[in-house]
Amino acid sequence: MEIYLKSRDFRNWRSVKNGPHIPMKLNDKNELVSKPEDEWDEEDFRKLTIDNKALNILLVALDKTEYNLVRRCTSAHEVRKLLILTHEGTEQVKNAKLALLNRDYELFKMQPNESIKNLYNRMLDITNGLLGLEESKELKTMEIEELLGSLMTHEVKLNKKSAKLMETKPQEERRKDIALKSTHKEEVSSEEELEEEDYVIFAKRF
């Protein structure tokens, strides 16, 4: 929504973020007071029009349930604050969500037989959640995309290694090694798990 508002008019987003324009003037005592409507000038009307356009953009984008929730709001800024409170909760709720996401992040590891793509998607779910709640964390999209490339390269290397082991072993020797196959697979699996753990640690640095 932020991008859409900015694309229509950057001032629309400023209205949503900072609040509506309130026409003001100095009275006889040199105090700043609200202007009566009949004293509004062209600049006041221009800014108020921007505020109302921003409010209209938000309202038409909402479904019936959310519209009923914010219908009494008189500015786009009020709508935004109420929607944030509704969907993200109070500071206490945000802190609880942040603690859960941090826990998921610290305990993040590759699951058995999990593909690199699925691992990457799970990491994105966690990091995007953290970014939404804690802007101070320096988790950059470009770095995460670079991470995906590294992990996919790692997956290709593992697949090639397994294929090469099968191709280089003579057929007769393979038959003799049937009894040791289970042990060998466990050793290879352990080695791969260690490499995967290294990449998970690398991923968590992002």
pLDDT confidence of residue 89: 61
pLDDT confidence of residue 142: 40
Residue 37 scores a pLDDT above 60: yes
Q: Tell me how far apart the alpha carbons of residues 127 and 114 are, in angstroms, rounded to a whole number.
A: 19
pLDDT confidence of residue 185: 47
pLDDT confidence of residue 50: 95
pLDDT confidence of residue 202: 46
103-153 confidence digits (pLDDT tens): 777 777 778 888 888 888 887 887 777 666 554 334 344 444 555 555 555
- Whether pTM > 0.75 for this model: the answer is no
Residue 102 scores a pLDDT above 70: yes
Q: Is 129 exposed, middle or buried (0-12, 13-18, 19+ CB in 10 A)?
A: middle
Contact 19, 79 (CB under 8 A): no
Phi and psi dihedrals of 166, rounded to 5? -70, -40
Per-residue b or e along 39-78, where b marks 16 or more CB atoms closer than 10 Å to that residue's CB: eeeeebeebbebbebbbebbeeeeeeebeeebeebebbbb
Contact 13, 6 (CB under 8 A): yes
pLDDT confidence of residue 87: 73
Q: Where are the domains of the chain?
A: 2-88, 91-204
